[in-house]
Chains A and B, each alone.
Chain A
Amino acid sequence: MTINEKQDEIIEEFDLFDDLLDKTQYIIDLGKKLPPMPEAQKNDENRIMGCQSKVWVDAELKDDKLYFYGDSEPTAQISKGLVGLLIRVLSGEKPEDIANADLYFIPRVGMGNLITSLRAGGLASMIERMKAFGRAYTEKSHS
């Protein structure tokens, strides 16, 4: 599936809920399903700044595709869910596609305050970090 197909799928899934709390529950459950990141990877280098809670993201190139790992401090489940959502969209894609992705699903899932205000800083930093990985690996995968 392409990045955009995955985004469309997520928009459809969120459209099934009309209650904000149900959407949030869905995000939390996504976070719960995220495989835990090895402790060694939860280092300062991988830490996303701008999140109110501690969040880490790392990436690895396999067969020209970029795979992401992410985690949050155990209590911060909404952040973890948001990382999970981004990983679902971007992981396993070509670095240049990640670098150039237009993440239109975020305003479209209708999370209101959750995404626009409180998490804006942190979420934007997560996306920026993942795209930076995409840019950094674009050259490597071509060389």
Chain B
Amino acid sequence: MQPAIDNTLDIQRIRQDFPILDQEINGRPLVYFDNAATNQKPLSVINALTRYYEGYNANIHRGIHHLAEQATAAFEASRRAVQEFLNAKHWQEIIFTYGTTDGINLVAQSYGRHFLKAGDEIIISTMEHHSNIVPWQMLCEEKGCILKVIPINDEGELLLDEYEKLLSEKTKFVSCVHISNSLGTINPVKFIIDKAHEVGAVVLIDGAQASSHLELDVQALDADFYVLSAHKLYGPTGMGVLYGKKEILDAMPPYRGGGEMIKEVTFAKTTYSDLPYKFEAGTPNIADVIAVKTALEYMAGLGKENIAAHENDLLQYATEQLNELDGLRIIGQAKDKIGVISFVLDGIHHQDIGVILDQQGIAVRTGHHCTMPLMQRLGIAGTTRASFAVYNTRYEVDRLVQGLRRVQKMML
């Protein structure tokens, strides 16, 4: 199968934007295939961080001096950039968080504790990251809500008719991953959202993996909440976004108290700020928020569709090449997937695969990928996962295949 890609990106040029790639690990050139965990950062993002600390480090919103104004402007410009990136209707719908996990916890703790009650049902899926399981379990324990789980087939696709059977007037919340970090499956989230809305449920989409691979439009999706992490879209770590529909966010109580989220505090009573500030207590991660805009600009400069086409080419190529190896089984064969390949090798522990690939300079992820229930469903302890980003090449895929041949030679 020859992918029909008119590859418009000059990958060798792009690689020069990522200084970290130019190094040897254990005497061999680094191949970085752990992009689903976090991808590497281009120089422009690194420079944006440095520029802030060197040039205009100041606390935002409250200061009346020049640097404070400059920092505030850059911070809020980032919010507008994210608004545009997600096609949110209002800038007030963009709340900066510490990441996907933090965003989900915010929704579970604020929306969940306030609006859900005993007996209400929350639906998640079998392929959720622990970040989209544990906050809901905690809520269920506290409030007496009931967690229901959408099953999957052996290819790693959601069983949508089973999902429809789970839905009822008792369903108050659906929280589902857009793209599985373990399998690469792209879920039909538009369908999931529409069906949930038919029974009056509110929907959160975990976009941690989707944000760097797919065009996003929260209005077209009609998502009530959408969460993501900046470090998975060529941006800084410990920084993320919660999108929420304004009318829902307005109705939600703040979830952390402190500076920035208040209008007025007396010892008798506190009144809260408006959106988005009522959810942004304390001094935020200013430099990293600012650098997110740079990361989004970087991706826009390459063109998200070009990035996706390149990654898809790598996915097709790697799938073909890996299938040549005896005893290799790809876990996650969804029709719709991104450049994430999870696999097991007969007779070899994934940990050993990871160690021996690392000795050859190849960075992959091994284990359960924070999706232990998914591994249990698939009846495996873990996988080896190679996940691609824009700077990866077919040559690197060849290195992986050679590396795995070496693993087999050593072990079998």
- A: residues with CB less than 8 A from B are 20-21, 24-25, 28, 52-53, 73-79, 112-114, 118-119
Contact = CB atoms under 8 A, between A and B. Distances in A.
B118 interface: no
B168 interface: no
B242 to A, nearest CB: 33
A77 B349 contact: yes
Contact of A21 (B348, B349, B351, B360): B360
Q: How large is the interface on B (under 10, 10 to 19, 20 to 34, 35 or more residues)?
A: 10 to 19
Given A75-B347, A77-B411, A113 B359 contact: yes
Nearest to B406: A21
Given A28-B411, A75-B347, A21 B352 contact: no
B410 A75 contact: no
27 contacts: A21-B356, A21-B359, A24-B355, A24-B410, A25-B410, A28-B410, A28-B411, A52-B351, A52-B367, A53-B349, A53-B351, A75-B347, A75-B352, A76-B351, A77-B348, A77-B349, A77-B352, A77-B411, A78-B351, A78-B355, A79-B349, A79-B352, A112-B26, A113-B26, A113-B355, A113-B358, A118-B354
Contact of B359 (A24, A28, A53, A77): A24
A46 B92 CA distance: 57
Nearest to A81: B352
A18 to B, nearest CB: 10
**6 nearest A-B residue pairs (beta carbon):** A75-B349, A76-B349, A20-B359, A78-B352, A52-B351, A25-B410
A79 to B, nearest CB: 8
Contacts of A52: 351, 367
B360 to A, nearest CB: 7
Interface in B369-412: 406, 410-411
Given A20-B26, A24-B410, A75 B348 contact: yes
A90 B311 CA distance: 50
A20 B359 CA distance: 7
Interface of B: 26-27, 347-349, 351-352, 354-356, 358-360, 367, 406, 410-411
Contacts of B352: 75-79
B347 A114 contact: no
Contacts, number: 52
Nearest to A29: B410
Contacts of B349: 53, 73, 75-79
A113 B351 CA distance: 13
Contacts of A78: 349, 351-352, 355
B410 A21 contact: yes
Given A75-B348, A75-B349, A112-B26, A118 B355 contact: yes
A21 to B, nearest CB: 5
A75 B367 CA distance: 14
Contact of B355 (A73, A74, A75, A114): A114
Given A20-B359, A76-B351, 19 more contacts: A20-B27, A21-B356, A21-B359, A21-B360, A21-B406, A25-B410, A28-B411, A52-B351, A52-B367, A77-B352, A78-B349, A78-B351, A79-B349, A79-B352, A113-B26, A113-B358, A114-B359, A118-B351, A118-B355
A75 B383 CA distance: 13
Nearest to A25: B410
A24 B394 CA distance: 27
Contacts of A77: 348-349, 352, 411
Contacts of B351: 52-53, 76, 78-79, 118
Nearest to A75: B349
Contacts of B410: 21, 24-25, 28
